[in-house]
Structure 1
């Protein structure tokens, strides 16, 4: 079993990732939370936690960790501090901690943030974090979903390094994709986009692995 640190574990997508990892035969989730109050929910489900704040030092959070999923987001409130600088801090800590794989939840449009009128600051922050990860010595997968929905997941997606089309995808299917990307045989040192589609998630990875 590999210990996987879930950064952003208290978020909507983060909670889904933790749940999937908890039922996995390969991974043990470690939920990163900001305070003891947030620990309660995870401990009630026998999920280990570590207290860490992306606006502070995070080096201690990667102790005894094998892989990292970064699914944190500020919801537009602290874009630079969390989505950009927090992610960069986590990447640097992961390099120091010799993390085996870093899976980043990014966003479609992060490759060309200047093209967005509404989300430019957010996409620029994601872009900068993604570029920092690419230039690190870490093995990584950068996952860029379309618009997120709270519909029930289908377990099917459309995946490509560049889709050249807009679309939406359920948080369920994003969480499943992120967990699949943690495996050693899937998506190594690659960036790809996902929206809802017809290919089973495991099968979709074969186009980039």
Structure 2
């Protein structure tokens, strides 16, 4: 039986991914620090594991075949939390995944994670953390997909995508709802080759962009 572990399931994107998975009849395990934050998520195929990503959370991987890592420290935290969540927890997740023979690891990274030094100074700690977490996953030997979305907005889903970075930075954006849709699409994808994709709103379908 396929079961997807969603790490960071109570976050803005994670909660949408969790509900979409349940709406599609998929079995999902939501890893959260406080299960009360999922009180508005409904589905008979949902299991919830409470754990702190700064502590041991390896037990959450039991019985799962796939992982979506969508956890993040948040924009109002300092570099310490960025290191602990966006870097260290992500790296540990890959290690746990390998130990539990996870078939597919989907990592939510960020545009600019390929070249952190090119990003704005205030973003570099975050981009370095994402870069190092991505590199750890790449070297892990796991089958992976690394998704690097553009700047995130809370607009309604547009249902249109692009994997070509716009020249105008103001257009390098994507809604959180569309990122959630892309993650659910990737969770149902049976491709065996690993890939890294940047993702923005654009004029193509998910199939055109992610295949």
Whether TM exceeds 0.5 here: the answer is yes
**How many residue pairs are counted as aligned between the two chains?**
202
Which residue does the alignment assign to 2:91? Answer: 88
Which residue does the alignment assign to 2:152? Answer: 148
Question: CA offset at residue 98 of structure 1?
Answer: 0.4
The answer on 1:11 being equivalent to 2:14 is no
- Alpha-carbon separation, structure 1, partners of 2:204 and 2:88: 35
Question: CA offset at residue 48 of structure 1?
Answer: 1.5
Question: CA offset at residue 30 of structure 1?
Answer: 1.0
- Alpha-carbon separation, structure 1, partners of 2:62 and 2:195: 25
Which residue does the alignment assign to 2:178? Answer: 173
- Alpha-carbon separation, structure 1, partners of 2:190 and 2:66: 14
With 118-127 and 47-56 compared, the bigger mean Cα shift is at 47-56
* Long gaps (5+) in structure 2: none
Is the CA contact (8 Å cut-off) linking 1:54 and 1:89 kept in structure 2?
no
Task: Provide the secondary structure at the position in 2 that maps to 1:118.
Answer: helix
Question: CA offset at residue 83 of structure 1?
Answer: 0.5
- Alpha-carbon separation, structure 2, partners of 1:70 and 1:80: 15
* Long gaps (5+) in structure 1: none
Task: Provide the secondary structure at the position in 2 that maps to 1:29.
Answer: strand
Is the CA contact (8 Å cut-off) linking 1:33 and 1:51 kept in structure 2?
yes
1:132 to 121, 125, 136: 136
- Alpha-carbon separation, structure 2, partners of 1:196 and 1:39: 28
With 175-184 and 79-88 compared, the bigger mean Cα shift is at 175-184
2:108 to 98, 102, 105: 105
Output one character per residue of 1:70-97: Cα deviation in whole Å (capped at 9) or x when no partner: 0000014200000000001111000000
Is the CA contact (8 Å cut-off) linking 2:22 and 2:43 kept in structure 1?
no
Structure-to-structure mapping, 1:1-209, within 5 angstroms? 1-25=1-25, 27-38=26-37, 40-42=39-41, 45-46=43-44, 47-76=46-75, 77=77, 78-116=81-119, 117-160=121-164, 163=165, 165=167, 166=169, 167-186=172-191, 188-206=193-211
